[in-house]
Amino acid sequence: MKISIVTIVRNNREYIADAVQSVLEQDYPHIEHVIVDGLSTDGTVEYLQSCERRPGTLISEADTGIYNALNKGLKLATGDFVGFVHSDDYLDSSTTISQIAAQLQQSGADMIYGDLEYVQAENPTQVVRYWQSGDFHPKIMLGGWMPPHPTVFVRRSLLAKHGYYREDMKIAADYEWMLRYIHFAQVHPTYLPQVICKMRLGGTSNKNLKNLIRKTREDLLSWRLNGKRFRGYIAIVGKNLSKVQQFWRRRAGE
């Protein structure tokens, strides 16, 4: 089983090394690393060209936004499954991908997800939020549940059937994509009960009040696009309330 990992980046020389190194250190041999750069000017491209990397592809060109860049990466990927390690993130351990592959082979699932830790940008050993996903069951998304997008790996052949990220959305296309796949297309995922990656705080969706408002509107649009406008209001309330417990929850042993 070949697994593709897509990383998109623009002017993030400070943290891209952690993302790349976490992929490089994986003990699973069949990994392709696709890196899509958005014409960085801070030395990111020069670093990527000079550093040791997993076999894969590196491109640097203009894009029209985050989801345009993500779609480019998905279309360049050639693996059986594909997922993301964003430039602010890094995989939790050197065995993460091998454990993902083992779970996919055992379950025969078309999608997998796990847990996510939010960490301080300058001190990634400091966990701020722990997103423990829990098991999937049908209709769970109606109550606001969703898996952490950075932990999701999907069978690449499904992209042609169910589509890519909507590029007319600016913040919540990942939520619409997961809603479309898991709830409406009923691509039932398997859960790997462990932290898959760590994410530094400071993402686009939570950057300021304006972005939070836009994200909520796009979350509601995600339901309306599929003819479930009223259900969307209930789901979004539940989705936001579920985040509260993430601030005091920690994984076992911490």
Q: Give the tens place of pLDDT for each residue, 155-190.
A: 999 999 999 999 999 888 998 999 899 988 999 999
Task: Report the CATH number that the domain containing residue 212 is assigned in CATH.
Answer: 3.90.550.10
- Asked if residue 254 belongs to a domain, the reply is no
**CA-to-CA dists, residue 211 to 20, 44, 170, 217, 244, angstroms:** 28, 26, 9, 10, 19
Q: DSSP class of residue 23?
A: H
- Across the range 228-249, mean pLDDT stands at 58
Q: What is the pLDDT of residue 57?
A: 97
Q: What is the pLDDT of residue 61?
A: 98
Domain that holds residue 66: 3-247
- Asked if residue 143 belongs to a domain, the reply is yes
- Asked if residue 253 belongs to a domain, the reply is no
Q: Is the pLDDT of residue 202 over 80?
A: no
- Asked if residue 225 belongs to a domain, the reply is yes
- Asked if residue 252 belongs to a domain, the reply is no
Q: What is the pLDDT of residue 142?
A: 78
- Asked if residue 140 belongs to a domain, the reply is yes
- Asked if residue 28 belongs to a domain, the reply is yes
**pLDDT-derived band of residue 138, with 50, 70 and 90 as boundaries?**
confident
Residue 38: phi and psi, rounded to 5, are -100, 50
Regarding pTM above 0.85, the answer is yes
Spatial separation of the C-alpha atoms in residues 149 and 12, rounded to whole Å = 20
- Asked if residue 100 belongs to a domain, the reply is yes
Number of domains into which the chain is organized = 1
